[in-house]
Amino acid sequence: MVTLVSTIIIFGALVFFHELGHLIAAKKAGITVLEFALGFGPKIATFQKNDTTYSLRAVPLGGFCQMLGETTEDTSVGSFHQKPLLSRTIVVGAGSLMNFVLAALLFFVLYFFVQGIPLQGPVIGEVLPGSTAKEAGLNSGDVVVSIDEEKKDSWEQVVNKIHANPDTALGFIVEREGNYKEIGVTPQEDPNTGRGMIGVSPKMERFALWNSLTKGVEDTVLITGLIVGSLYMIITRQAPPEVAGPVGIVHAIGEVASTGIENLLFFTALLSINLGFINLLPLPALDGGRIAFFFLEMVRGKPLNPERENLIHVIGFALLMLLVLTVTYQDLARLDVF
């Protein structure tokens, strides 16, 4: 039940924000939006405002923003194809933009309300039971003044020193309740990374508005860059393709949801960034594919025949569904369903 509810909420949020981006941009551009729907299948609830029907549908795993003349040669007032090329490009790209915005907002919620962000100073927040730090005598709330007589002004400096010295004795000077103590700690080498680890985490601060906002945006940009780098490595065959389909994603959502709200917020933000990025790829049936046709229109000086373009998108969608089915089969096999 937790997996089902989490999946509906997460997919609903991802799709809602994506289609909301299209809706807002279309309204701003003066394009008539015929229907804005969350979900597919039979309508459960609807209401009309101006020219737009807003609907909630039975199958909560999808949605759409239907614009006037989007798939036809209709050039009447308010039609999609009646608008300038730049306006249409912005409308199509706005869906992915909103997925990046959603990711930044989720990171903000995580850092502002739930997890907090590390204090700027070198203050120990948590000491893991049974860790090297605990055995050496480090406590929560200790302020690291120096390590091996090197003054430390930030938590990053503390971490860098520890990581760089696996299996090497380090001399900590910490301030505790106004007194200074000298404590020797030997970081243990992490077998996976080769870094030194002592089992401490920084002191976290919640409700830090500006820092939470900026860190949310920074993490969104950072993860997007990592995704671009991973795609490059896959294309150049420097790394094997690892793709999860709907079944794999639902399974992952269930596992992450069982570990707590912090991991679920982070995972949802990660999914939102992936959705936004993938939709911008220049492939038929994706928003990036439509933007590619706009670029072609700019080069040719005239648009491609809508029927021909729609046929290409249909073929692309069919190939995309084939890929989804293939990945789904692999997911089921990996989960030992067969």
pLDDT of 191 over the 70 cut: yes
| Residue 59, token pair as written in the block | 């199958």
Helix ranges (DSSP H) in 153-245: 155-163, 209-235
The answer on 156 and 249 residing in a single domain is: no
Catalytic-role residue among 19, 126, 149, 242: 19
Number of domains in the chain: 2
The answer on 112 and 7 residing in a single domain is: yes
| Residue 250, token pair as written in the block | 């639902």
Closest CA to 124 of 85, 78, 155, 166: 155
Residue 19 is a catalytic residue: yes
pTM (predicted TM-score): 0.86
pLDDT band at 329 (very low <50, low <70, confident <90, very high): low
The confidence score (pLDDT) of residue 238 equals 80
Cβ 196 vs Cβ 187: under 8 Å: yes
How far is the C-alpha of 277 from the C-alpha of 285, rounded, in Å?
A: 14
Share of the chain above pLDDT 90, in %: 65
Give tens-digit pLDDT for 73-127.
777 889 998 899 999 999 999 999 999 999 999 999 999 999 999 888 999 999 9
| DSSP state, residue 273 | H
110-124, 165-179, 230-244, 295-309: range with lowest mean pLDDT: 230-244
Give tens-digit pLDDT for 248-302.
777 788 888 888 899 999 999 999 999 999 999 999 889 999 999 999 988 988 8
- Which phi and psi (to 5°) does residue 148 adopt? 50, 45
Chosen domain end from 156, 175, 205: 205
Structural domain of residue 38, as residue ranges?
Answer: 2-116+214-334
The answer on 12 and 111 residing in a single domain is: yes
The confidence score (pLDDT) of residue 257 equals 84
Chosen domain end from 141, 171, 205: 205
Query: What's the mean pLDDT when you consider all of the chain?
Result: 89
129-143, 202-216, 220-234: range with lowest mean pLDDT: 220-234
For residue 159, the domain's CATH number is: 2.30.42.10
The answer on 154 and 219 residing in a single domain is: no
157: left (phi over 0), alpha (psi -120 to 50) or beta: alpha
The answer on 85 and 26 residing in a single domain is: yes
pLDDT of 337 over the 60 cut: no
